[in-house]
Structure formats: C-alpha cells, structure tokens
Amino acid sequence: VSPALQAPQYLVDTHVVSRPPIRSTSLISNAQEQRFSLQVSQPAAEWIQSAIAKIEGLTTLAPGWDGYSGKMIDSTVAVQAVKFVIDHAYPTLPEPAIVPTAEGGIQIEWHRGGIDFEVAISDVESTVFVEDTETGNIDERPADQANSIFGDVIGRLAASA
Amino acid sequence: VPDDGTIPDETRLYRRLHPTQVVWDDNQGCIRVSSGAFTDEFMSVNLGNELERINEPPTFALRHYPIHSLAWLSKGFVQSHEQEVRSTPTPDDSTHGEVVGRKKGSRSRQFAKEAKIEILRRDDLQPDLLEHLKDDEATP
C-alpha cells in the first residue's frame, strides 16, 4: 500500500503511575493514575479538526432544525461519528461532508472518483452505502463493515485529490 | 388524506433544506442535496399545485425559515419509487403535504440525485462549500 493511502495511525501507550497514598479510607485511596502518550506514526489529514468541529456543531442543533420535526443529534451518535472521522482521516482524502439526518443521526459522505460513499450513523440503524457511479453497482451493509468497504474504494476517492 | 388522484404527476413537491444538507458532489461537479434530507418515512413537503391555487410562489415554503434553502421532486418521480403523496393541510399551511413510504437505503440516494434546488441561500452554506461554488463559477 502506498504511504499516501495509509490510514492515520496512532499508538497509544499507557503508563501506570502509583499515586501517593491518601490519608483517608476513601475507596480511591489506592487507585493508580494512568497517563497516556500518543504517538502519531502516520499523520492524519489537515481537515480532521474542521470535521470534528462540524460534528460538534451538529450537537447544538435544536429540535426542528431541518424546518420540520428533525430530532436533536444524540451525543452517542456524535462520538461514533468522531471516531469514524479519526479512523478515516487519510491525508490524501478531501474533507467529507458531515450531514445531520432527521432522526438524529449523522451522515459522513464523499462523492468523488466515481464513488458515492456514505456512512449513516444513528442510534436506530447504522449503515454504509457505496455506489460506483460508473458501473451502477450499489453495496449497502451494516456500518460495522464500513472499514472493509472503505479499503476497496479509498484509492478512487483519493485519486483526484 | 391518501392520494385520490387529484394531485397531478407533474406537481412539484417542495422540501426545505438545512444549510448542512447541501453537499458538494465532485462526481457531478456541482452542489446537490444530501440523501440525509430524504429519510423521513412521513416526509413533509409543500404541494406545488396548492401553492398555485392560492397564488403563492415557492418562497412561501420558506417564509418562517430564513436560513433554509428549497428543493423539489415531482410527484410522478416519488410515486414511481413506491411512495404515496398526500395532501395534509395544517392550520398554518394549506399547502402542506406528505410523501409517505420507506426511504432509507438506495431510495433516499435516488431522491437526492433527482432533487432540483429551487432556492439556494448561499450565505448560510458551509464555508468549504462556498469555496467549491466560487471555484466552479470561476471555471470558464
């Protein structure tokens, strides 16, 4: 795989640090402090902060935001969307569209290289949808299979970047 | 009220769009509506034939919505995708209707690609989308 098509990679290292004893009978008196270090071995796309800010912005939408009966974006959905963005912030990809849905979900979309790639995250049903606009082939699966489908189309999504 | 055949097939069904529901499609080289705007099983619209009957333009659908844009699909198109179009007037809006039927999956994508943007309120679009529009307009 070309380095340009590698996903951003993070190495999280956990260090357990003993805390000085606390003079109390608190249940946490023997708790240990955990410190994390984050090493980025493959840089993420520059747009990652912008995309996360957009997701954060969606959580402020009021009920009826769509001009109808659109629901507020659930924080659990927003966290899942952020996780998807972090895992798929390939440096060679342009920023995806981040779109709210009426049932309180979030869609993350790329329409590029002859591919329509959409991940719809909601607390009801999360799906990934891919259409090859050149062949008309359509593939729709549960969102937990998004990574494998993404791997099949990343080259085309990034091709004209 | 179920469709009793009095809504002509060519009737435009107007749907409001939040600024975040307009996206850039590099495959088509233009902005378009996201499929996320067409997921409601009971999808509210303004019926074009009813707007004509009361002599109101499509902007009537945006009279209380200063940042929203407006797109439309024809009644014939949605009906060909197993949807029922109903006239469901409300006390505030005699032109209100509903497009009833399951839309998730490829159907909402078909709606998104077919939808025509009638009114685009550019000032409230995402900044990166505006950049695409500027680039597109600058291309001879």
Residues of chain B with a CB closer than 8 angstroms to some CB in chain A: 16-18, 20-21, 23-28, 34-37, 39-40, 44, 65, 68, 104-106, 109, 126, 128
A5/A81: higher pLDDT: A81
- Asked if the C-beta of A109 comes within 8 angstroms of chain B's C-beta atoms, the answer is yes
Give the per-residue pLDDT at A112: 94
Residues A106, A78: Cα–Cα separation, whole Å: 7
Give the per-residue pLDDT at A34: 59
Give the per-residue pLDDT at A161: 47
Task: Express each pLDDT in A117-152 by its tens digit.
Answer: 999 999 888 999 999 999 999 999 998 888 888 888
In angstroms, the separation between the Cα of residue B8 and the nearest Cα of chain A is 24
Task: Say if the Cβ atoms of B20 and A98 lie within 8 Å.
Answer: yes
Task: Say if the Cβ atoms of B18 and A102 lie within 8 Å.
Answer: no
Task: Say if the Cβ atoms of A67 and B109 lie within 8 Å.
Answer: no
Among chain B residues, CA nearest to A95: B128
> A82: number of CA atoms within 13 Å, CB side?
17
Residue A28 has pLDDT above 50, yes or no: no
Q: Are A89 and A79 in contact (CB under 8 A)?
A: no
Residue A19 has pLDDT above 60, yes or no: no
Q: Are A153 and A93 in contact (CB under 8 A)?
A: no
Task: Say if the Cβ atoms of A140 and B68 lie within 8 Å.
Answer: no
Least confident range from A21-30, B10-19, B62-71: namely A21-30
> A43: number of CA atoms within 13 Å, CB side?
7
Tell me the two tokens of residue A124.
């009801």
All residues at 6 or more sequence positions from B66 whose CB lies less than 8 Å from its CB, including other chains? B121
Mean of all residue pLDDT scores within chain A = 83
By percentage, how much of chain B surpasses pLDDT 90? 77
B135/B56: higher pLDDT: B56
Residues A139, A149: Cα–Cα separation, whole Å: 9
DSSP output for A8-67: PEEEEEEEEEEPPPPSS--TTTT-EEEEEEEEEEEPPPTTHHHHHHHHHHHTTPPTTTTS
Q: Compute the average pLDDT of residues A45-72.
A: 94
Task: Express each pLDDT in B54-104 by its tens digit.
Answer: 999 999 999 999 999 999 999 999 999 999 999 999 999 999 999 999 987
Task: Express each pLDDT in A69-119 by its tens digit.
Answer: 999 998 999 999 999 999 899 989 999 999 999 999 999 999 999 999 999
In angstroms, the separation between the Cα of residue B132 and the nearest Cα of chain A is 12
What are the two backbone dihedrals, phi and then psi, of residue A24, each rounded to the nearest 5 degrees?
Answer: -165, 175
Residues A94, B139: Cα–Cα separation, whole Å: 20
DSSP output for B68-134: -EEEEEEHHHHHTTT-EEEE--BTTBTTEEEEES--TTHHHHHHHHH-EEEE--GGGS-HHHHHHHH
Q: Looking up tokens 């956990």, which residue turns up?
A: A14
Among chain B residues, CA nearest to A97: B23
The pTM of the full predicted model, rounded to 2 decimals, is 0.84
Phi-psi region at B119: left, alpha or beta (left = phi > 0; alpha = psi -120 to 50): beta
Give the per-residue pLDDT at B4: 62
Q: Are A95 and A14 in contact (CB under 8 A)?
A: no
- Asked if the C-beta of A21 comes within 8 angstroms of chain B's C-beta atoms, the answer is no
Q: Which of B21, B40, B106 is opposite residue A140, by nearest beta carbon?
A: B106
Kind of pairing between the strands at B96-100 and B42-47: antiparallel
> Using N-to-C axis directions, what is the helix angle for A75-87 and A48-58, rounded to 10°?
170
All residues at 6 or more sequence positions from A18 whose CB lies less than 8 Å from its CB, including other chains? A32, A33
Q: Which of B36, B40, B105 is opposite residue A107, by nearest beta carbon?
A: B36
Residue A64 has pLDDT above 50, yes or no: yes
pLDDT band (50, 70, 90) for residue B22? very high
Per-window interface: A 30-59 vs B, CB < 8 A: 50, 54, 58
Tell me the two tokens of residue B39.
């997921």
- Asked if the C-beta of A134 comes within 8 angstroms of chain B's C-beta atoms, the answer is no
